[in-house]
Amino acid sequence: MYTISTNKLKTNINYLNDDVYKYKIPNKKGFKINNIDIKDITIYNKKMARPFILKIVNHKFDKLILKLTEDMSSDSDDDDVYKKVLEEIEIFRLLIKEKYRPFLRKGELEKMAKKLKFLKTEAMRRLLNLHDVNVVSKNVGRGAR
């Protein structure tokens, strides 16, 4: 039911099938439990893994929202900024869908989707406005020939 990995010893105790959700706790330094250096901890219980995943997803989401609003608030006339914003939104959606969806509740997913949808529509609107301004500015001044 759990895996213990230390620097000297690796012991696997596994009674679960492979189709069970697993979550490996991110760890850079290592743990000490009863004076044993623990390198990896893997959680097989979905309910136990949920708080860890929720903390990670919320941190990534807040970081993404901060970065996207900062990118969109810049007054650049470059459409690459808005294309990058749209690309980052889609990358985050795919990450949630593929990696974290089984651990999150429907309400949490809907809340994140609502905020991302708002940012996506705003970026699309600004990109289209920028595109329209460029088309109009190219046609102005040509006159009738």
Which pLDDT belongs to residue 129?
Answer: 83
What phi and psi values does residue 13 have, to the nearest 5 degrees? -125, 105
- Give the CA distances from residue 9 to residues 31, 45, 143, in Å, rounded to whole numbers and listed in that order: 14, 23, 80
Same domain, yes or no: 118 and 99: yes
Which pLDDT belongs to residue 142?
Answer: 57
Contact 44, 16 (CB under 8 A): yes
Q: 119 is in which domain, residue-wise?
A: 46-138
Residue 144 within any structural domain of the chain: no
Token pair in block for residue 34? 């009863």
Same domain, yes or no: 50 and 61: yes
Number of domains present in the structure of the chain: 2
Same domain, yes or no: 33 and 103: no
pLDDT at 93 over 50: yes
Mean pLDDT for the chain overall: 78
Which pLDDT belongs to residue 6?
Answer: 57
Same domain, yes or no: 10 and 76: no
**Dihedral of CA 102/105/83/120: which sign?**
positive
Least confident of 20-24, 72-76, 80-84, 123-127: 20-24
Same domain, yes or no: 89 and 130: yes
Least confident of 11-20, 32-41, 68-77: 11-20
User: Beta strand 36-38 with 31-33: parallel, antiparallel or unpaired?
Assistant: antiparallel
